[in-house]
Chains A and B, each alone.
Chain A
Amino acid sequence: MKLSRVSRGVLASATGVVLFLVYVPLMVVLVNSFSTSQSLSWPPPGFTLEWWAKAFQSQGALEAVGTSVQVGIIATAVALILGTAISFALQRFEFFGRDAVSLLVILPIALPGIITGIALNNFFRTILGVPLSIWTVVIAHATFCVVTVFNNVIARLRRMGTSLEEASADLGAGVWTTFRLITFPQLRSALFAGGLLAFALSFDEIIVTTFTAGVGVTTLPIFILDNMFRPAQAPIVSVIAVVMILVSIVPIWVAQRLAGNEKVVR
């Protein structure tokens, strides 16, 4: 795009500065993971690899990661199904209450987490009378993850149009075949992006999770919260954070590649 060199320079430096500021706290976390101080004070009094060793041996941390991954995957799967269904319904059809439904989808994430948390806690324990467990966490997470899938899929549906599907139907393909061979491949990258964001949301969610997790259900954020109270463990938390960031590069990069292949030319 034709922007003056000055404008381009200004934008580039603004971007650079902001990104630098975004990564400063993350650098602090990285440094803290090597610091000998147990209470995250700065500057670090000394350097050690002790926390890295402990983190990988920590039974609690590994189990917490496992639980979070489990919850994330199931919640994302549910959110993908529900989100796609709702996107189709809202984008392809006109019906009474359409606005209300789109508002309803956004609510779980728009309303403060603490309200969602205590509402669900009250609902599960008092009204339904079921004990809290890993499933109540999954249900809670799926509920507010729907919106991320919904956003991505509906944006893609708007761009897609229905002509290809109609052509497929004209050629005799049934509803499921059309979806499987025509619609789904076009949606794939949107689903992946939405699913990835949903997984990230679920993985890092703390507020609603503390209110809906049963005894013994320790997701990674709960583990971190518990261990930030324990001075001997706090630096391990920094290690976990660093590992999570590094690990996240892969799926984000894959999502970008998938999206990039279908990019509309500028």
Chain B
Amino acid sequence: MTSDITSRRDAAAVPPIRDTAARRGSTFLTAHPRARLWLLLSAPLTWLVVVYIVALVALLITAFWKVDSFTGEIQIDWTLDNIVTVVTGSLYHVVTLRTLGVALAVTIIDIALALPIAFYMAKVASPRLQRILVIAVLMPLWASYLVKVYAWRSVLSGEGILQWVLNPFGIEGPGYGITATIITLSYLWLPYVILPIYAGLERVPDSLIEASSDLGAKSWSSIRLIVFPMILPAIIAGSIFSFCLSLGDYITVNIVGGASQMLGNLVYTNVGTANNLPLAAAVALIPIVIIFGYLFTVRRTGALDNL
């Protein structure tokens, strides 16, 4: 590399700096970091605020309005009725608790499944095997969500593979219902949980673990005391995906959930069936509040930097 520089320097004199508009712009930007910041932030921020935040607020505001039940037209009639219905209705309590339960179960299962795989991929597997494993983990993401859920419907059916495997043992499969929903959702979000944990584990230098074992710690202690605290933000980052995605899902419940409904279904039926956007918006407030709460709580752990 050094020879390149010297030979270039010998070959031709450095061209004089021309005072073009680009040059002046460049100088200006270098000297004014605020201008650079402004240039960088303006487009994405405008986009996100205008497209997303305005849309979201507009939706949530309808929660305070009413709908004419027969024609389905929204009337700008300020009222707290919808909020009250959602906060006090026992249906909403039951469904919220059920949805929270499912989301938590899915998150715990996914983390439990992701940790060994991520660890193996990041720390134990050879580079070639590592590449293959990453491909193997990412490939299912490309099979359509709907197709995967229908495949699980087929697997969990009374005549499906699962029952066929369990039959010799005389065990009855879970069939369709909440258990099936948890299983399917865990399956769907698993790659999203594996990836951040894998990335986090890659950042843990091997030298630390070796030092720990040199100091006499067994493998499990090293992992528990050294690695785990370092990857906790990454684990939480993964959990954000599985928790948030499960909280609002309504399609999986529809297909494998039997007769159950979750929060997403309530929102969906109010938008579609009932044509009652205000009530749907009021119900939507429940997962929004929960997710905001979750995000604020985990912000401190640095998980948001690990997504």
Contact = CB atoms under 8 A, between A and B. Distances in A.
Whether chain A touches chain B in the assembled complex (some CB pair under 8 Å): yes
Interface residues of A, number: 100
Contact of A15 (B120, B150, B248): B120
Interface string B258-299: 000001100110010000010011001001100100010001
A14 B137 CA distance: 14
B304 A106 contact: yes
Nearest to A41: B159
Given A143-B48, A249-B139, A175 B160 contact: no
A93 B29 CA distance: 14
A7 B58 contact: no
A263 B155 CA distance: 39
A158 to B, nearest CB: 8
A108 interface: yes
Interface stretch (B49-57, B79-87, B90-98, B167-175): B49-57
B305 interface: yes
B307 A1 contact: no
Interface in A202-239: 203-204, 206-207, 220-221, 224-225, 228, 237-238
Q: Which 5 A-B pairs have the closest CB atoms?
A: A112-B248, A174-B26, A123-B55, A248-B142, A14-B116
Interface of B: 14, 17, 22-23, 25-27, 29-30, 33, 36-37, 40-41, 43-45, 47-49, 51-56, 58-59, 62, 113, 116-117, 119-121, 123-124, 127, 131, 133-148, 150-155, 157, 159-161, 164, 187, 190, 199, 202, 206, 209-210, 213, 218-220, 240, 244-245, 247-251, 263-264, 267-268, 271, 277, 280-281, 284, 287-288, 291, 295, 299, 304-305, 307
Contacts of B131: 253, 256-257, 260
What is the predominant secondary structure among interface residues of chain A facing chain B?
helix
Contacts of A109: 244
Interface of A: 1-4, 7-8, 10-12, 14-15, 18-19, 21-26, 28-29, 32, 40-43, 81-83, 85-86, 88-89, 93, 95, 99, 101-116, 118-120, 122-123, 126-127, 139, 142-143, 146-147, 151, 154-155, 169, 172, 174-176, 200, 203-204, 206-207, 220-221, 224-225, 228, 237-238, 240-242, 244-245, 247-249, 252-253, 256-257, 260, 263-264, 266
A119 B59 contact: yes
B232 to A, nearest CB: 17
27 contacts: A2-B209, A4-B219, A10-B116, A11-B120, A18-B190, A26-B143, A40-B151, A41-B157, A85-B44, A101-B41, A104-B49, A104-B53, A106-B240, A111-B291, A112-B263, A116-B52, A119-B59, A123-B55, A143-B47, A143-B51, A143-B52, A203-B142, A206-B146, A237-B150, A252-B138, A253-B131, A256-B131
Given A22-B140, A111-B248, A260 B127 contact: yes
